[in-house]
Structure 1
Amino acid sequence: SMNKSYKFSGFFKNNFLKFILSVCILITFLSCNFITEKLTALKEEVFNENKKQDVNNSGDNQSGENIFNAENVVFYNKYVAASNAVYDAIERIQQSYLSMVPDVNKVQKNSFLTAAFFVSSVENLESVIKNQNRSLYDDGELSKLKTENENMKNDLETAFAELLKSAEEYYETSKKISRYYDSKIFKDDPSLIRTYDEEIRLKYKENKIVSDEFISVLESYKPVITIRNPDDFGSQDEKSTVVLLNAYGTILEAAEKFNKNFKRWNKGEDLFELKKDLENLKRVYDEEKIKVMD
């Protein structure tokens, strides 16, 4: 069938494909960040007269707090980027571990295991956690974000702090296991091979639960997207702002759909639907880029 034509075999091919797809989504999010920065530099009066309309058009926004203005867009987008950094670092460790120990039953004293990538992945997570903690607590980027929606600010800060706590627990486990293999301790004491395998898989599942909880909180505060007609506004700055805002919202919708399905995709699964989402994201991005550049 056509679906089967998009299947790939082998761990390396699957992870190389994930890497390529990650690059694509990163480029898209970087473009969104660019639009966000442009929005913050322009006058926000263009959004104010439509706030009431934003609230009325949203069934999920009874409080009127999820307004799709520059301030809320920046706040939301920064937490998307921060959580993605943590998620990607943990995925990198887990996949490198599974590559190193694909079958725990086959690891023996004389097994040749290369732990270099696993070790570097653990070090990368350590760096990510330190950076995100500084950002959240030490007068960093996340701590300086502003929004009139105090509920969003408090809930996201609390949920992200829990995500970092869970990531730290996963890091401590992976660090211990990386030393076990990198220092060849498993050759002298193979009794911990199975124990450590169960432990890292458990910590990964626990982190996934916390990550899903964070995403649920994040999505509950997703700014309401309203597509406006640039011709309804007077000055050229206002028109330009609306074009950028429309482009951001449209790209964000397509990017989030792809990103959500991408994160659910597992090695060996069919890629046909994911490929369609990626093609749609590229089409939407290209179309909106033309509108912005006009």
Structure 2
Amino acid sequence: MNNFKFLLSLILAIIIITGCSYFNKLKEKLDYKNKKEITVQESKEPSYDDDIIFYNKYTDAINKLRESGEGVYKDYLRDIPVTSGINKNTLIIPVGLSLSVAGFERTLKEYKRSLFDSGELSKLKASEIMKNEVEPELKNLLNTMDEYYLIAKKVSDYYSDSEFKNDLSRIKPYDEEIKSAYVKYTEAVSRLSSALKKYKPKREKRDPDSFSNPDERSSELMIASYGDILDAAEEFYESFSKLKFKGNDNEALKYFREYERIFEQKKQNVLSAEFTEKTKFMKYNFEDYFSKTSDKFTASGNKFFSDYRNFKSEEVFKNKYNEVIVNYNYMVQSYNTSISSINSVMKIR
């Protein structure tokens, strides 16, 4: 009897020990799985770097969309005479307008697919507050540009196909439509730019001379120079974008002169600096590419301000204004390209 009790106790002990071991292992597996899931979830949270990437991609989108939209209006004003002077015998060759509208369609389609059809913009991560404020403004801009494009295409076809010769009654309404669409488009661009500007990453300024490695020193010099130039350009743009026909141009002119001063100062710094074989391309790129886009921007700006007080009509003002904006956008695009090339080669930031 005692042997039986002992045997029964032994069996129960084995069962208990085995069961505990099994449950401990099961618990460990569950804990590991939960920990793994938590780690994966945490890795999906947007980081500061995600915000920077989001900001840069949206900045690039704004620049390209603005370039397309401004180009259409610029070519409309250039190719189509003042409406009051058009008759059925007027020679109109709107080649520039037709090309701009076609380019506008391609750019618009590219960014609509990117945002609405699982493209690059739709996959960007950012902090919730940033994404919730900026992304709806881009959607609004794209929808506004849709309307702008349809009107611009209609107007372009009207003149390209010489329909105006058979029906002059649409000249004035079409002129009013495209100008109204342009105003709505510029307002949408302004709202998006203002929303995005709130989240502009603070530029980290580092002294190039603090780097002992010559390649790093050259790279930091270039990044700092480009950054100072762009800061001055953005100050100018913010003021210039508020300028109206027959308004006061003193503030915009002041920021424009400051841009010229900063650019020349940084240009001299770059051209007088030493570069190794690895980094010489940075100097050449600045001299042969970026500087040329800046020169075109300043040339159009100087022409604008020298003629500003003598503009006879708002159409002339807008035409010259748009020339400055287009050249400004080219300069900003060359800045983005230059910075990307430096970072991709040096991988320092």
- TM-score (norm. length: structure 1): 0.64
> 2:135 matched to 1:157?
yes
Counterparts of 2:206 and 2:256, CA distance in 1: 30
User: Higher mean Cα deviation, 170-179 or 87-96?
Assistant: 87-96
Q: Which has the larger radius of gyration?
A: 2
Counterparts of 1:284 and 1:265, CA distance in 2: 27
Q: Counterparts of 1:17-56 in structure 2 under 5 Å? A: none
Equivalent position of 2:78 in the other structure: 99
CA root-mean-square deviation? 3.5
AA aligned to 2:235 is K
Paired residues of 2:218 and 2:275 also in contact (CA < 8 A): no
> 2:230 matched to 1:252?
yes
Counterparts of 1:253 and 1:145, CA distance in 2: 25
Equivalent position of 1:131 in the other structure: 110
Q: Counterparts of 1:149-188 in structure 2 under 5 Å? A: 149-188=127-166
AA aligned to 1:214 is L
> 2:264 matched to 1:286?
no
> 2:180 matched to 1:199?
no
Gaps of 5+ in 1: 1-66
Equivalent position of 1:190 in the other structure: 168
Question: Out of 124, 142, 145, which is 2:124 matched to?
Answer: 145
Equivalent position of 1:90 in the other structure: 69
Higher relative contact order (CA 8 A, sep 6+): 1
- Alpha carbons of 1:145 and 1:239: their partners in 2 closer, same or farther (altered >3 Å)? farther
Equivalent position of 2:257 in the other structure: 276
Identity %: 34
Counterparts of 1:286 and 1:272, CA distance in 2: 21
Counterparts of 1:201 and 1:225, CA distance in 2: 38
Paired residues of 1:255 and 1:281 also in contact (CA < 8 A): no
Question: SS of the counterpart of 2:123?
Answer: coil
Counterparts of 1:136 and 1:280, CA distance in 2: 39
AA aligned to 1:118 is L
Equivalent position of 1:110 in the other structure: 89
Paired residues of 2:222 and 2:270 also in contact (CA < 8 A): no
Gaps of 5+ in 2: 1-46, 277-349
User: Higher mean Cα deviation, 79-88 or 271-280?
Assistant: 271-280
Q: Deviations over 1:185-239 (max 9, x none)?
A: 1000100001101111111111121111111101111122343457889999998
Equivalent position of 1:52 in the other structure: none
